[in-house]
C-alpha cells in the first residue's frame, strides 16, 4: 500500500462567483483522503504567509500569484487558466502536501493564525526614506503602506533587508 497521504484526487475548473466574466477559473482538487491532520504541518512548513483557522480546519496560503485554500477533503487554487495549468498545479500541490506529510516527524506543527498586520511606521523605519521611486511607488511611506498587506512586494525595494522585514512582518 502506498505511504502517500493523498493517493487519489479529481480536479474541476469552475468560474468564480465573485468574478463571473473573468478569463480565469478556480481549480478545485477534490481529495479522496482527509488531510485535516496535515494542515498544522502545512501551516508550519509552507513558505509564509499562511493563515490557519484550526477550528474551521482551513488553511489559506498565497504563493506567487496563486491563492490556495486547503480544507479536509479539498484544495482550491486560483487563478487557473486552463486544463493544462490545472494538471500542473494539482500535481505540484499534491506532491508538496505529500512531501511535507512525509517529513512531519521533523516539523513542529503550528496551530497559529496569521499575525495581526504590522504597523506601517514599523515598516517605514526599515526603509531609507530617500523616496527614490525604484519600487514603483512615489514615496517610501506609500511603499510601506502597500507592504503592510502585500508582503510579496518586499523585493521591489533594493534597499530593504529581507531579514529585517521578516522580523517585523512575518
Q: Are strands 66-71 and 58-63 parallel, antiparallel or unpaired?
A: antiparallel
Residues 6+ apart with CB under 8 A from 30: 9, 10, 11, 12, 73, 74
Q: Is residue 168 involved in binding ligand SF4 (CB under 6 A)?
A: no
* Per-residue contact flags (x/-) with ligand SF4 for residues 142 to 161, judged by CB under 6 A: -x-------------x-x--
Rounded Cα–Cα distance for residues 79 and 65 (Å): 8
| Residue 1 burial (10 A CB sphere; 0-12, 13-18, 19+) | exposed
Residue 132 interacting with ligand SF4 (CB under 6 A):
yes
165 binds ligand SF4 (CB under 6 A): no
Task: Report residue 20 as a C-alpha cell.
Answer: 463571473
Which span (19-27, 50-58, 103-111, 126-134) binds ligand SF4, by CB under 6 A?
A: 126-134
Q: Which is nearer to ligand SF4, 110 or 139 (CB)?
A: 139
Q: Which is nearer to ligand SF4, 94 or 127 (CB)?
A: 127
Q: Which CB atom, from 76 or from 145, has the smaller least distance to ligand SF4?
A: 145
Handedness of CA 25, 97, 167, 164 (dihedral sign): negative
Q: Give whichever of 12 and 134 is closer to ligand SF4, judged by the CB atom.
A: 134
Segment (H or E) for 83: helix 83-102
Q: Which of 134, 149, 152, 161 binds ligand SF4 (CB under 6 A)?
A: 134
Residue 169 found at the interface with ligand SF4 (CB under 6 A): no
Interacting residues toward ligand SF4 by CB under 6 A: 127-128, 130-135, 137, 140, 143, 157, 159
Amino acid at each position: 500500500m502506498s505511504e502517500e497521504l493523498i493517493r487519489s484526487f479529481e480536479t474541476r475548473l469552475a468560474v468564480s462567483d465573485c468574478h463571473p466574466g473573468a478569463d480565469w477559473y478556480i481549480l478545485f482538487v477534490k481529495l479522496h483522503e482527509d488531510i485535516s491532520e496535515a494542515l498544522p504541518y502545512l501551516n508550519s512548513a509552507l513558505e509564509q504567509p499562511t493563515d490557519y483557522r484550526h477550528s474551521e480546519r482551513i488553511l489559506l496560503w498565497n504563493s506567487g500569484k496563486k491563492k490556495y485554500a486547503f480544507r479536509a477533503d479539498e484544495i482550491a487554487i486560483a487563478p487557473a487558466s486552463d486544463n493544462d495549468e490545472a494538471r500542473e498545479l494539482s500535481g505540484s500541490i499534491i506532491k508538496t502536501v505529500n512531501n511535507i506529510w512525509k517529513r512531519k516527524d521533523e516539523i513542529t506543527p503550528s496551530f497559529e493564525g496569521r499575525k495581526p498586520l504590522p504597523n506601517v511606521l514599523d515598516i517605514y523605519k526599515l526603509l531609507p526614506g530617500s523616496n527614490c521611486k525604484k519600487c514603483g511607488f512615489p514615496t517610501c511611506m506609500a511603499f510601506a503602506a502597500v507592504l503592510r498587506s502585500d508582503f510579496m512586494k518586499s523585493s521591489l525595494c533594493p534597499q530593504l533587508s529581507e531579514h529585517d522585514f521578516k522580523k517585523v512582518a512575518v
